[in-house]
Each structure stands twice: as structure tokens, then as C-alpha cells.
Amino acid sequence: MFYPVEDSIGPHSKNSLLKLNCINFCKENMKSPSSNVEDIVALVKQRLKPYLQSSYMASELVFSGNFFVDGRFRNLEVGVSDGMIDSIGKSLRGERRINIEGPVLPAGTDIHVHFRDPGETEKEDFKTGTISALFGGNTTVFDMPNNHIPITDSVSFEDKLSRVRSKAFCDFGLYSMFIGNNAELIDQRSSGIKIYLGGSTNSIGLSKIDDKQVEKLDSNNKPVIFHAESQECLDRYRTAYVGTLRDHNLARPEECENLAVEYINKLKIKKKIAAHLSSPKSVSIGSASVIKEVTPHHIFLNDEMPLGSWGKVNPPLRSRSVMNELFELYLAGKFDIISSDHAPHTQAEKEEFNYAASGIIGVETRIPILLALFSKKILDINIVVRTAITNPANIMDLRKGRIALGYYADFLNFDKGEIKRIDDSRLHSKTKISPFNGFEAIFPKNVIMRGQFLVEDHELIEDHLGLHTKDLKAANP
């Protein structure tokens, strides 16, 4: 087995762990009759490179700043080589040095976006979507499969991947959609599987999933993320006319979400996520095996606000009292992740409320709104980091979301005193109208991915450098 080498400020001696890792690695590989010396040497070099660099070699680049490490900000230096963190400590050796001002966090991961590419690029595409993500402090996003032509098999997956890969300014993963009978057709490069238990944009709700299909879904060993609304319940409450946010709330009540969460509890799937929970009861009835996701719009917006169709979303915005209760649950650490559910539509699609498409933008404002609340001492920074940065990366098996040895050098820094009102005309999405217009936010000053500045002093300075997450090193190789 391999023992984790924490960092140069941790409790272990890197040299002793380096020796122990090398011995164990060689022992394990010598057991195989097919192993030869050349192969073992090559593997040892590959697996122990970060430790060798951090122990004996100068880093390519050393960042100094007030880094968030082990639950608090600490004035440290972080060495980076080949885009990975190879040393953490004081007075590190490096070929080039950069000082980062202000608090430095790991960059964010948003596991729930709808960039509409391909098929509906008049709403958003991968270029504008990933640029928006970067300005919001995210270096990784995971795009949903409910495209105009849903991503349900290897053919549709490859078509989407080939179209968006060259447009990505940040790293990205892609989901596939389960439609009831295609568990065996899911492309293995999928980052996860999306299941709509209730119908929404470009999707039909599944009332029940066959046991054999559940078994096959679980055998894929991928996260399964559920749109948690019961289709049978939605059918019962369906009404001919919905003219306000309150009407929309009543037409898709909390009861439908509660029923869906109860159903998710029963499914024998190892890693299951109940998306965009909007009911406090859903949080309480969701079992410990269910990863609970919330969105900024469900904890900051409600159906009494004068948002019109720009606040129409599935599941709906709830009452002010429910919103407040959800926010208190978030403050108390009851949610595992917070995702944007960024879902843009054109202005024409939002004109008449009854027929308006459901969805709002949010990938660029998710972290900045949370940072403003931290600056105002309303929100614990550990909640922000856990739900918007570390947990999303962990769930997707990424070497991101932590400032630690062997992780990608993805950072954001910000100025606690730089609280500004959101001006949606300055956002980078193709859709410029945000229900968070006027909210207080702190946008990251710099965003760094794999040791490279992509956003510097609030300006985009690099072209599309994003990689498909399957081309990155996994957290557990």
C-alpha cells in the first residue's frame, strides 16, 4: 500500500515515508511474474515523482500567500511543478516566485451546469459557459446531458465531447442521461449519470427504475445524480395556467420532491446525489447514503420576489419562510454540496410566464455571493470550502479542492473588502439577466489553474486551456 505524504508542515517525515513507499511499491510489483526491472523503475519514477521533487528538487514555481490549508488560512509557500503541488512549507526552493495577495482558496468545482452545447448554443456554449465559470472562481465544471439531443449512449457522448473540447477555458466533465433502459449503453468516459425522476427541460420523468437497470447503473461505479421530483406527483398537481412564481411553486409542490427523495433512499446505488433540494423536509428524510445538493437560488431567492419568469426554475423557488429555513440548514452544514444549476435561456423563451422555460444562470455568481457572506461574518469559510470546493471535487474523484501535495495547483484569491453589487450586464454568460442582480458579491481577483493564471486582476488572460477530466490524474489512480 501507499502511505500519504502529507506536506512539509505535516506530522510525518517525507524522507521516511518516501523510503517506505518505495519499499512497499517494489514489493507489490515484484510479486508479479510479468514484472521486470525496467518496468518497475519506470513505475517508481512515475508514482514517486511528487515526493522526490518535494524532498530534493526545486519547484518550477513557488507561490507565496495566505493559503487555506487544514481548515484555516496560513502564510505559506506552495511549490508547483507540471501543474501539481509538489511542496508546501516555508522558504521553498523555486525557479520562479509569485506572491499572491489576500486570502487564497482552492479553486471551485461546480458539478451541476447546463451549457446547452451542442444543440442550443443561442442560449450558451462551452466557451461562454466556461469563461463564466472562471470569473466565478471555478476551474472545473460538470455539464448535464439534457441537450436538445440527450446524451444517452457512446455515439451522442462522443459527438458532444468532440464539439466542446476545443472551446473549454476550464476543465470539464460530461454526464450521460439514463432514460429507463440504457444503463449498458452509457459511455464509460461519462463523469456521472443523470436521472430525471420528474420531467424538466429536454427530459421526461421516470416514475420507476427497473431493479436490473439499477444494478447495471451501480456497476458503472459513477455518481448518479437525480432530479428529485416525482413525476406521478407532478401529474397530480398539473394545472392549465401558471402565471406567477407562487403558481409555479404550487404546481410543483415540496411534496413531489419529498416523495422523490424517499424513492432515492431505497435505490441500491453506492454514490447517489439528490440535486437542488428545495424543501427542508427533503433534507431531514434523505438518508445518510444520499449526497444532498442545494443551489444558491433556493437559499437566497423566494416566490415573493418580483423576478417574473427569470425566477422560474425546477424545482420552484419556495416561500420566504422555506427559503430562510433552507439557508439556516446550509449555515448549519446540513448540505454536502452547493451547485449553481446554471441553466440559461434566451429572452424570447422567458417572455410569457406560463410558457417560459425553467432555468436561471448562476455559475459565475455562486462562489462570489458566498465569499461576500464570509466577509460579512455571516457564513463560516469552512462551509464555503467544504460545499463549493472540496466535496464537489471529492465526489468526482478529482485531485482538486485542496491545497495539498499531489493535488492540482488550482487557486483563487480575493479581497475581503472588495464587496460589490452584482451588475448582470457585466457577467460573461450569453444570457445577461440574473435574478441575483444587485446582490452583494466578492469576485475572485485571480484564478489559477494548474499553476497558470487564467484570470489576472479580474481580466481573462489565457485562451482555452481546459481539459476533459478523464485526461486529468484521478484522486485515486
Number of Cβ within a 10 Å radius of residue 263: 16
- The β-bridge relationship of strands 452-456 and 459-460 is antiparallel
Cα dist from 67 to 41, 81, 94, 139, 217, whole Å:
35, 18, 18, 17, 39
- The residue assigned the cell 502564510 is 75
Closest to 284 in 3D by CA, of 321, 257, 302, 303: 257
Q: Are 76 and 90 in contact (CB under 8 A)?
A: yes
Query: Left (φ > 0), alpha (ψ -120 to 50) or beta: where does 307 sit?
Result: alpha
Q: What is the dihedral of CA 197, 201, 202, 207, to 10 degrees?
A: 20
User: How big is the CA angle at 83 (ends 78 and 88), to the nearest 5 degrees?
Assistant: 15
Closest to 150 in 3D by CA, of 124, 189, 114: 114
Closest to 343 in 3D by CA, of 100, 178, 120: 120
Alpha carbon distance 96, 128 (integer Å):
32
The catalytic site residues sit at 341
- The β-bridge relationship of strands 459-460 and 446-449 is unpaired
